[in-house]
Amino acid sequence: MTRVVVVGDLMTDAVARARYPLARASDTPAVVTMHGGGSGANIASWLAVEGAEVAFIGRRGADITGRNRDMELMGYGVDARLVMDPERPTGTCVVLVTHKGERTMLSDPGANAALSPEDLPRDLFTAGSHLHVSGYTLINEGSREAGQAALELARRAGMTISVDCASSAPLERTGAEPFLEWTHGAKLLFANADQAKVLTGREEPAAAAKVLTAWFPQVVIKLGADGALWYTNSRAEPVQVPAETIDRVVDGTGAGDAFTAGFLPAWLEGKPPSEALTSGCRLAAKAIAYLGARPRL
């Protein structure tokens, strides 16, 4: 199986799930729990649990939280290549989940913002491996150079490359043109419908995917409750699969990361796009069924 190298963010998620509709400017009872998070670290964790050989490159603080996140990754079976930052704390994200499962996130990247090209272990960038770069690494100005360096190292080594779009609001603040320029050379792009709209201006996901193949040979658009689609410019129409049916959405945090981790192994093995999409939707359904963005062991 192809080794996957993930460059991305490591966070602690403070998840507050409201029991009732939010009482603005007042008090709403909630269940508050702490979890490992960060899009890149989430993807690496799901990949490892699914049996992939995966290494994660990131940065953590010299704090107890960072140590816990490091040990957590190793517990999943991830080859965690974390640089310890002596000044910045481990990143933290406050995830507010409504009683209907909708999420709003407040993020402090902490040590993630200091990831540098010198933090990239050169031994991981070898022919036959695959690189996945979290969009957060490229969107964050402090870690952008590291993300670009990782992409260049992978291109020189002849690795296959995928990238994701992180989140629609920071992507919009950054701008479509710079992001598309930074990710030049990636073979596969992951986006959700909102992110695809930011990059292309197209409301319809299939139309956005077709536009995006001007930059990426293959594009995957995650459609939430409507499943996901894959498109390449050698096809007339995209391949689309439905989402898995679940009884109740508990927490959508990390569902997109789980989808990516489900899609990549099948795609790297050359399986049909429909099979890779179905595998992605299967893991996304698992992530939605409980609190937190990481797999349960």
State pLDDT tens for residues 134-153.
999 999 999 999 999 999 99
Kindly list the distances between the CA atom of residue 14 and the CA atoms of 4, 25, 106, 223, 276, in Å, as whole numbers in the listed order.
28, 20, 10, 26, 31
Query: pLDDT at residue 265 above 90?
Result: yes
Asked if residues 239 and 225 have their Cβ atoms less than 8 Å apart, the reply is no
> pLDDT band at residue 169, thresholds of 50, 70 and 90?
very high
pLDDT (mean) for 90-103: 87
Least confident of 19-28, 144-153, 240-249, 263-272: 240-249
User: Which two three-digit tokens encode residue 207?
Assistant: 């139309």
The pLDDT score that the predictor gives to residue 246 is 82
Q: Computed from CA positions of residues 9, 296, 248, 98, in that sequence, does the dihedral angle turn out positive or negative? A: negative
Please tell me whether residue 121 adopts helix, strand or coil conformation.
coil
- For 103, the enclosing helix (H) or strand (E) is strand 103-108
Asked if residues 195 and 225 have their Cβ atoms less than 8 Å apart, the reply is no
The pLDDT score that the predictor gives to residue 35 is 92
pTM for the predicted model, two decimal places: 0.94
CA pair distance 116, 145, nearest whole angstrom: 7
pLDDT (mean) for 172-182: 97
Q: Which residues of 70-103 are buried (b: 16+ CB within 10 A; e: fewer)?
A: bebbeebbbbbbbbebeebbbbbbebbbbeeeee
Contacts of 29 (CB under 8 A, 6+ apart): 18, 19, 20
Query: pLDDT at residue 81 above 80?
Result: yes
> pLDDT band at residue 98, thresholds of 50, 70 and 90?
confident
Question: Quick one: which of 174, 173, 183 has its CA closest to 215?
Answer: 183
Contacts of 270 (CB under 8 A, 6+ apart): none
Q: In the chain, what are the domains?
A: 4-10+37-91+110-288 (3.40.1190.20)
pLDDT (mean) for 34-50: 96
Rg (CA), the chain: 18
CA pair distance 225, 270, nearest whole angstrom: 26
Neighbouring CB atoms inside 10 A of 201's CB total: 11
> How buried is 176 (Cβ within 10 angstroms: 0-12 exposed, 13-18 middle, 19+ buried)?
middle
Neighbouring CB atoms inside 10 A of 132's CB total: 28
Asked if residues 137 and 143 have their Cβ atoms less than 8 Å apart, the reply is yes
Query: pLDDT at residue 206 above 90?
Result: yes
The mean pLDDT value of the chain amounts to 94
